[in-house]
């Protein structure tokens, strides 16, 4: 976030584009450098799925709860509010200053935009290395519940085996690497996963669980809110997925 804020004043607008020896302008219109409060386009279909994917942290809830000194509902709520609040603040600052830097030319991968216009910047390279280490350290935490789910669904009838454990691990890692190598744009991954898995985990399943477990009257505000959450998740997920596929077809 700090890097995005600082580099806001390192890149001029209209954006320069290095082509060979001389530097040309992407656009000479100063209108391209004016922020818009709302901007709807075909890329808007990726907005909510990407945000849903960004706040998906269900796999970390139970391990964090177990690590609390005195686990309780109130303590876990404080941890959740603090974590989500900090994440929102970082996302908001990065998105705001990234948009105010590139406007309509924002890349799906924000750092790629900075690398294009500041290819030898030390700060950007340092941030990329930091993100690399962050991803390397995050993969085992995310991989654990994925492997556990695969083993429970497909191999629960078999005795515990290190061979099966290693094969599932290698298979999952291979799939992830292939996606990283051959999917041309990361927004497609965020869009599809966000509109399917993330919307279900954030909106649909919590609402359904509450409707199933709660003993309140169906017309109570709580159950009506749960119904609204389920309907919202289904509508947003389906609409976003349809628009994303429609964009692929048009391209």
C-alpha span between 162 and 152 (Å, rounded): 15
Tokens 């997925």 identify what position?
241
Q: Which residues pair with 17 in a beta bridge?
A: 24
The Cβ of residue 40 has, within 10 Å, a number of other Cβ atoms equal to 8
pLDDT per position as a tens digit, 25-48: 444 455 567 777 777 777 777 888
Residue 26 main-chain phi, psi, to 5 deg: -65, -40
pLDDT per position as a tens digit, 177-211: 888 888 877 888 888 888 888 888 889 999 999 98
Chain-centroid distance of CA 2 in Å reads 19
Q: Pick the residue with more confidence: 234 or 61?
A: 234
Output the pLDDT for position 163.
Answer: 87
Cα-based distances in Å from 98 to 3, 55, 61, 234, 245: 10, 19, 30, 30, 26
């Amino acid at each position: 976030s700090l890097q995005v804020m600082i580099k806001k004043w390192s890149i001029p607008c209209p954006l320069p584009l290095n082509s060979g020896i001389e530097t040309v302008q992407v656009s000479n219109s100063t209108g391209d450098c004016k922020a818009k409060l709302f901007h709807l386009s075909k890329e808007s279909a990726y907005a909510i799925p990407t945000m849903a994917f960004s706040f998906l942290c269900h796999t970390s809830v139970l391990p964090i709860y177990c690590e609390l000194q005195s686990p309780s509902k109130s303590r876990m709520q404080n941890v959740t509010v603090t974590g989500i609040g900090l994440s929102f603040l970082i996302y908001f600052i990065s998105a705001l200053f990234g948009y105010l830097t590139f406007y309509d030319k924002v890349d799906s991968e924000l750092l790629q935009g900075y690398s294009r216009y500041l290819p030898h910047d030390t700060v950007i390279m340092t941030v990329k290395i930091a993100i690399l280490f962050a991803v390397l350290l995050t993969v085992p935490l995310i991989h654990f519940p994925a492997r556990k789910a695969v083993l429970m669904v497909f191999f629960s009838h078999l005795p515990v085996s290190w061979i099966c454990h290693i094969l599932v691990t290698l298979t999952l890692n291979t799939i992830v690497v292939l996606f990283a190598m051959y999917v041309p744009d990361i927004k497609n991954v965020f869009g599809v996963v966000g509109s399917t898995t993330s919307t279900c985990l954030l909106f649909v399943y919590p609402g359904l669980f509450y409707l199933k477990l709660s003993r309140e009257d169906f017309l109570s505000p709580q159950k009506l809110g749960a119904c609204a959450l389920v309907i919202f998740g289904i509508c947003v997920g389906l609409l976003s997925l349809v628009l994303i596929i429609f964009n692929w077809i048009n391209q």
